Structure 1
């Protein structure tokens, strides 16, 4: 299968996914094999929603919509233009996926197949409805993928390299078990926003999307703020108020109540607005319904902190804080070349002996 064939197949998948939007599902003519898959996709969305209480229909469809925008022929060609893939010898790449947000391992899945390798997937039980169905659609478009895609619930026994995503604890297991093979092993990471006090209400409202999308469960979700000493949170709270209906989700509300009770019993000082708590803390990974914050005196102080803690940070959100920072409201809109942990997966896949 040529690279152009793989690109065409994934762009057709992108077309298929474009039918599923938060504004409604719309069956579009001329989508390949749509009669066989459209209704089934709706059923898979429903199944994923009922299986995992964190996977609301809104968040599932948001993920599908983002992938539909990414998987255009132009985006795929631009992404892969700097790599040499046509002469790559196919290997079997094991991919162990997390299950914290819908289709969280999809980028690894795409990367392995688009590079010409075979993928052996072990999914999290929290997110195992959507990807197999999308794989079936992909195979219907390009039957040569059939022998290149496998799913397993067992331990891997026949593979050439591994891409594994999990917690800091599971990473130790991955390193022990897979250390003898070429590997990418990802640990816990979180995203942080740097505020100066000069942000507009619009910017802070966009930051709300970075905080609340997927209930804050993604590594690209902002879980901590860096604010100047004496920062007034009034405008921040007013700007994110549009997200107040998040408290209507039972699982989120239960976490809010539980964590608030723990903090109060421990006499921690809190700022809260009925659906989000702010707690001063040096850590990056805040519990659900909580946002940590830390104060600073100078920009240089923050730069040094981030350098020291770079292994814990996925994204830095700000209004032009540094060359590495991204705009408010963009954390959940990564491009195909925005690699998790800044590890170039395609480059890794081209160098497996």
Structure 2
């Protein structure tokens, strides 16, 4: 199979997903889907929350928009030219996480663009939408049937592994997959570094960086570094668009639990009945909580951040990722800063 054909089929996926995001009714065959396929997928998106309450319709559509962002034909072509397309494909097992919808898509994309084959082990928390998308890809280009497999049971006969999970699962990954070429990803989080010149619009965009997908992604900013004297009321005032979060029962349960823990242990915090701000040197804040820390010297705080880069996925702020873009990575924004395509090329 040629790389050009792979890029073309992903271009078709971009067109179809764009149609799903933009239309409630079937827009016609130009979207690449029959009316039945289109409406069935829309129905699936609308009902995902019944299987996984975190996967609301809004979050599913947001995740699909992130996939569309990756699949510009020209960008895909330019990006893929930086890597070899192997003539001896390896079967790469992709152990996908399930914290946000189809979070493993980038790994699938990189695997195919380098000419390798993907053995997808979907998360039990996120299986229906990824499976449907994979079915479309194979339907549009039947050659992909030899390049994409989905494993229902235990995976076997693979040549390499890309596995994403929690810190606790890394030990299991090492046990099962440590003897073959592997790329393991554990828990990371993201931070925002503010310098005090941020506009209200930038702070409103920061609220998305913190709370898109309920704050469950590794690219969500869970810690704010603020210049001494920063008015914390500006955070609460500009995060008002997130008030809807508290109406979600699972998010609300996390909020109630963490608030109760803080109160029982007499831990100081600030609260707006939607989320809490807690002054803390840590960077891994629990759901519904944002940690913050004041700094006086920017050079010192930059040095501190550099020292914790192995724990960070993204940094938001002036000179870093623009506010509001943490959950909209470009195709070259590799997880954990490891070039997935270069690693895949090394397998040949």
TM-score category, normalised to shorter length: over 0.9
SS at match of 1:60: helix
CA deviation vs aligned residue, 1:257-286 (integer Å, no higher than 9, x gap): 111000111111101111010111222211
2:55 corresponds to which residue? 55
2:34 corresponds to which residue? 34
SS at match of 1:237: helix
Say if 2:324 is the partner of 1:336: no
| Distance in 1 separating the partners of 2:26 and 2:340 | 34
1:149 corresponds to which residue? 148
* Structure 2 spans left out of the alignment, 5+ residues: none
By how many angstroms is 1:36 displaced? 5.1
Q: Is the 8 A contact 2:69 2:330 kept in 1?
A: no
By how many angstroms is 1:167 displaced? 0.7
Say if 2:16 is the partner of 1:3: no
CA deviation vs aligned residue, 1:286-309 (integer Å, no higher than 9, x gap): 111100112212112211211221
1:75 corresponds to which residue? 75
Alignment of 1:103-118 (within 5 A): 103-118=102-117
* Count of aligned pairs: 347
Q: Is the 8 A contact 1:33 1:141 kept in 2?
A: no
1:16 corresponds to which residue? 16
Q: Is the 8 A contact 1:20 1:65 kept in 2?
A: no
By how many angstroms is 1:121 displaced? 1.0
| Distance in 1 separating the partners of 2:25 and 2:210 | 29
Q: Is the 8 A contact 2:192 2:224 kept in 1?
A: yes
2:210 corresponds to which residue? 211
1:192 corresponds to which residue? 191
| Distance in 2 separating the partners of 1:240 and 1:292 | 15
Q: Is the 8 A contact 1:88 1:350 kept in 2?
A: no
SS at match of 1:209: helix
2:123 corresponds to which residue? 124
Rate the CA distance shift 1:26–1:334 in 2: closer, same or farther, 3 A.
Answer: farther
CA deviation vs aligned residue, 1:53-97 (integer Å, no higher than 9, x gap): 111100001111221232121121122121121x43111000001
SS at match of 1:95: strand
| Distance in 1 separating the partners of 2:56 and 2:334 | 25
CA deviation vs aligned residue, 1:194-222 (integer Å, no higher than 9, x gap): 11222110110000110110000000111
By how many angstroms is 1:34 displaced? 3.1
Q: Is the 8 A contact 1:96 1:164 kept in 2?
A: yes
CA deviation vs aligned residue, 1:312-338 (integer Å, no higher than 9, x gap): 101000122xxxx21100011111111
RMSD (Å) for aligned C-alpha atoms: 1.4
1:326 corresponds to which residue? 321
Tell me which moved more, 221-230 or 137-146. 221-230
Say if 2:335 is the partner of 1:351: no
SS at match of 1:132: helix
Q: Is the 8 A contact 1:210 1:222 kept in 2?
A: yes
TM-score for both structures, normalised by structure 1: 0.95
| Distance in 2 separating the partners of 1:195 and 1:26 | 43
CA deviation vs aligned residue, 1:141-187 (integer Å, no higher than 9, x gap): 10001122111233332111100000111012112321121111001
TM-score for both structures, normalised by structure 2: 0.96
By how many angstroms is 1:45 displaced? 1.3
1:309 corresponds to which residue? 308
Rate the CA distance shift 1:71–1:28 in 2: closer, same or farther, 3 A.
Answer: farther
* Structure 1 spans left out of the alignment, 5+ residues: none
| Distance in 2 separating the partners of 1:58 and 1:332 | 14
2:182 corresponds to which residue? 183
Q: Is the 8 A contact 1:19 1:26 kept in 2?
A: no
| Distance in 1 separating the partners of 2:68 and 2:89 | 27
Alignment of 1:144-293 (within 5 A): 144-293=143-292
By how many angstroms is 1:9 displaced? 0.6
SS at match of 1:295: strand
